[in-house]
Structure 1
């Protein structure tokens, strides 16, 4: 057992682990891997003995691909995923209602959006996590109770066993007890941790049942309508690729229809047959009825216990952001917990988790709800009126795409984010040692103070340099000038910095920009500003003074 050590918030002599992660789905894997890469001692509790092995989420965006790069699995994912160029919504007559441009190059260095087969990245991420020396996987165990103790959590888990005829394991009498500094509940929409804590959820009023069928292609297939929504009031339908080898179809369950009646082979091939698919084309690998819902927990933190992913928020699938949002939760938490664990930041830094992540996920939920109103129209007269509005040039009101608005970012005097603060940082190709690579391979994924055309280190005081060193920040420069860390391989950094009128950015470990300096004289102020936001312990505050 890896023993936790250090940390300002530790009241016990020691904890068995820094973090106990409940649930080994995508969010739990991301939480544990993010923590393990930081050297934190983690234990993952999963009631099943193996990964689920079937797809759930199909979409990942560029930010998540950048995260896969950080974890060392991006090549595994790219080998099977499908870079999506468009996401189209048509009506019952095939007329285009909405078209989302999913083919552009993103700020993260990848295409904006991809469709993927979830077991591919889960298996790759599970492989990397199992190899991490500070991580322990306890598969076939279930959390049965927990309590706060000595600034941490005492957990009791029970071994599970599979019962014939049931896909849900049951607990046995064999139990273990351990302690952890933090507990992160990544145990899904029906989170037992959230329910035990009595945390309520706000219901946005969207609860729709859809049949989902995932299938493996038996042969190469061409699809005239490849990726999008068929907004047919007779039965709204979703058509999606899942990587290169699989496909997904979803159909709305009609009013008064028995969902169980859609779970037969006959129902599956009737619906697929209407779209031109038959048993010679596909092997069905999953067929079930989902309830799409939109709910947000009213609390995301209770002392040393945190909710992440579906345990904290559920989002309709129409923008493909449910799983992505949960993985962002995990990355946001990990670097803050690491600062606490190393005694650099006070425990109060973790109070920034919910204010940063909850508005972000709520934005995506509202975007998804607005988008979902279009295909979920099942009244023919309403659908025709909707179609005519689109023909007349109407577009549904869509919120701005999310970014951080609160928390550990640079704010102006009105409390709003300063220039670029809270947005994703740029990643492009750089040249170092005669080799061209994506920048994170050189810059790393901790705090980064990056200058273009200047060396930020020359603008820092000794105390500011010491502070950056203490939080593990790298100070780097891109360009051809003396002292440059790397060369700008295709002038992308020079162009981006010029476009935004800046000379340096301070980037957080989760790829979000803390703040930007417009002139070299502002660079030191960025460091002083972040020092005021990180809830630093007294020893660090003294260093920075």
Structure 2
């Protein structure tokens, strides 16, 4: 819709206006504010939703949350998820996923968390930043794109209209996104829909769970028991043939099914119960003019791979540095075309794996379930013997599209598109994870002497970009001997990473993905030169 109301109350123009203030909108607001950008948030609900929906984020999500300033609070809101075990109805193991304590991103591969606490901390930090202004209880009813800005009209709880203006609008407003409707994007249904009763429980006895996360693939009643953060437990039960949503979504039904896990009113408190339809879908178009989508507004997936919230966090990380570049006049909307191509391709892999896992879990035909069990049991035995098996599969993959260095064949030149590792590094007087020691933003990581590595133009561009040029020294080097641009590779991670890449220099994007790699001084200058060409262009007019 377009147009404004003459007597509507107007607001000053912000750099970015975010519609929706759930976890993805909260994270994006912090990432933009930390870049010095002004952010207006318009949220339809007057209060934050007090109950959990998601129960986990991955290591990359934890890394991005740390970049947003709440890494030190992750231990308060979450706990390492630990192992994830699938069993059949007879209790035989079908699949085992090892939730290692620390992986590539420097955090546990998965963190189980209590979502209201996460949102509380994100909002608290946002409230301390003067760049962020939040308007709760305002529902967006119109959006009008102008040549240099967007006008957003919202109605408060008393029916009063207010007009907000921003250079860019990001829809983080969920699966029924108003902003998505304004882009004109179709939303592709990816062919998965099952109803599950979700029960959030607090146990009185402080019990421990082994495994911490359990999926029971019982064709009579597929069900789940997983951590929902410290002191909280999530149980899920699939609706089966002959049951209605109304009949399933009752306290009586919840307690009856919870008995399958030994949970009763005598030993536990049922915080809430709700029937959700687990579905999968993806927007065809993620931006139009000055409107952009992120999170559930752009994609939804069943929870079986634990990638719903994490994918939204990935959107926020990929979008924040691009919007910052657009606001700085460094590039045109081709960066948003890149965002759409990059994130849509990447998230569809996660959606596909989530759907495939869901089809395995949601099998209710006894004969098909028995055949499934045979296949998974055989695969698990092969994996235990050192062969390939389902344990090696991942809902994630390297980026294959987007802002990446490409080879002569037009495909990303490895390790372009890979998530960069994060491990402990040290320099004089400081030891910690790479991001905290080196800093955030673009990073040129090299094993070469940074003095004289780059030509004046390329060095000046990186300085203007606020990038960090860092030389990695071998493990065992005395940190006191490290120069101002050096770090010691404490756990021997970064130099092997460069060796595997057959490179001595890599350029890492602000969202931790590798843009590209180089070997030798000339190639390092060419690598930086490519980014300089992409991010030093004239502003391109934006058309809706």
Is TM > 0.5 for Structure 1 vs Structure 2? Answer: yes
Find runs of 4+ consecutive structure 1 residues off by over 6 angstroms. none
- 2:216 corresponds to: 230
- 1:406 corresponds to: 401
Question: What is the distance in 1 between the residues matched to 2:468 and 2:211?
Answer: 47
- 2:6 corresponds to: none
Q: Unaligned stretches of 5+ in structure 1?
A: 1-13, 161-171, 540-545
What is the Cα-based RMSD across aligned positions, in Å?
2.1
Deviation at 1:435, TM superposition (A): 2.4
- 1:257 corresponds to: 243
Contact 1:22/1:44 (<8 A) preserved: yes
- 1:504 corresponds to: 505
Contact 1:144/1:157 (<8 A) preserved: yes
Q: Does the C-alpha gap of structure 1 residues 519 and 111 become closer, same or farther in structure 2, counting only changes over 3 Å?
A: farther
Q: Does the C-alpha gap of structure 1 residues 92 and 286 become closer, same or farther in structure 2, counting only changes over 3 Å?
A: same
Q: Does the C-alpha gap of structure 1 residues 15 and 151 become closer, same or farther in structure 2, counting only changes over 3 Å?
A: farther
1:352 to 335, 338, 352: 338
- 2:139 corresponds to: 142
Deviation at 1:301, TM superposition (A): 0.6
Q: Unaligned stretches of 5+ in structure 2?
A: 1-10, 381-388
Question: What is the distance in 2 between the residues matched to 1:333 and 1:393?
Answer: 39
Q: Does the C-alpha gap of structure 1 residues 399 and 80 become closer, same or farther in structure 2, counting only changes over 3 Å?
A: closer
Task: State whether structure 2 residue 424 is matched by structure 1 residue 429.
Answer: yes
Contact 1:503/1:520 (<8 A) preserved: no
Question: What is the distance in 1 between the residues matched to 2:30 and 2:132?
Answer: 8
Aligned residues: 514
- 1:88 corresponds to: 85
Deviates more, 1:499-508 or 1:405-414: 499-508
Question: What is the distance in 1 between the residues matched to 2:147 and 2:162?
Answer: 19
1:102 to 81, 99, 104: 99
Contact 1:295/1:314 (<8 A) preserved: yes
Task: Give the match's secondary structure for 1:188.
Answer: coil
Question: What is the distance in 1 between the residues matched to 2:153 and 2:250?
Answer: 40
Deviation at 1:93, TM superposition (A): 0.5
- 1:536 corresponds to: 537
Matches within 5 A, 1:287-366: 287-366=273-352
Deviation at 1:482, TM superposition (A): 6.4
Deviation at 1:229, TM superposition (A): 1.1
Contact 2:93/2:377 (<8 A) preserved: no
Question: What is the distance in 1 between the residues matched to 2:33 and 2:159?
Answer: 31
Question: What is the distance in 2 between the residues matched to 1:131 and 1:117?
Answer: 22
1:470 to 417, 441, 464: 464
Matches within 5 A, 1:388-407: 388-393=374-379, 401-407=396-402
Question: What is the distance in 1 between the residues matched to 2:257 and 2:341?
Answer: 44
- 1:202 corresponds to: 188
Question: What is the distance in 2 between the residues matched to 1:18 and 1:209?
Answer: 40
Question: What is the distance in 2 between the residues matched to 1:535 and 1:143?
Answer: 35
Residues 475-506 of structure 1 show CA distances to partners (whole Å, capped at 9, x for unaligned) of: 12222576443333333323333344332211
2:442 to 437, 440, 447: 447
Deviation at 1:416, TM superposition (A): 1.4
- 1:7 corresponds to: none
Task: Give the match's secondary structure for 1:486.
Answer: strand
Contact 2:57/2:306 (<8 A) preserved: yes
Deviates more, 1:233-242 or 1:44-53: 44-53
Deviation at 1:224, TM superposition (A): 4.0
Matches within 5 A, 1:479-494: 479=473, 480=477, 483=483, 484-494=485-495
Contact 1:213/1:286 (<8 A) preserved: yes
Q: Does the C-alpha gap of structure 1 residues 387 and 430 become closer, same or farther in structure 2, counting only changes over 3 Å?
A: same
Question: What is the distance in 2 between the residues matched to 1:200 and 1:493?
Answer: 43
Matches within 5 A, 1:41-52: 41-52=38-49
- 2:386 corresponds to: none
TM-score by length of 1: 0.90
Task: Give the match's secondary structure for 2:207.
Answer: coil
